[in-house]
Amino acid sequence: MQTYEGYFENECRFIPFCAGIVPVRKRAVVTVFDEPIQSDDLKARLAEIDEIFELINSSDEIIPEFERVKFTREVDL
């Protein structure tokens, strides 16, 4: 069993505080506390994301576009 701390955004999206892999299709119990997350933490995280997008947009490098891949279909190699 694993425990992840985080918060919900847009009613159904869970944002974990740590980088980890949440297993798919596993039974889970979610506890929602009566206390909000610290707004400073959220503001800092959003500022970091904004900074990443600013760096990407200000870069002179060409951003490659990747072909969509569907991992469940069979392909010939």
75 within domain boundaries: no
| Residue 73 lies inside a defined structural domain of this protein | no
Report residue 77's pLDDT band, with 50, 70 and 90 as the boundaries.
low
What confidence tens digit (pLDDT) does each residue in 17-71 have?
Answer: 777 677 788 888 888 888 877 767 777 888 888 898 888 889 888 878 888 777 7
Within-domain flag for 74? no
Query: In the 3-class helix/strand/coil scheme, how is 50-73 assigned residue by residue?
Result: HHHHHHHHHCCCCCCCCCCCCCCC
Number of structural domains (the chain) is 1
**Quick one: which of 42, 60, 61 has its CA closest to 50?**
42
Q: Containing domain of residue 30, as a range?
A: 6-58
Give the per-residue pLDDT at 76. Answer: 67
Does 29 map to a domain?
A: yes
In a domain, 11, yes or no: yes
Q: Is residue 76 part of a domain?
A: no
Main-chain phi, psi angles of 16, to 5 degrees = -75, 150
Match 């200000």 to its residue by tokens: 58
pLDDT score for 75: 64
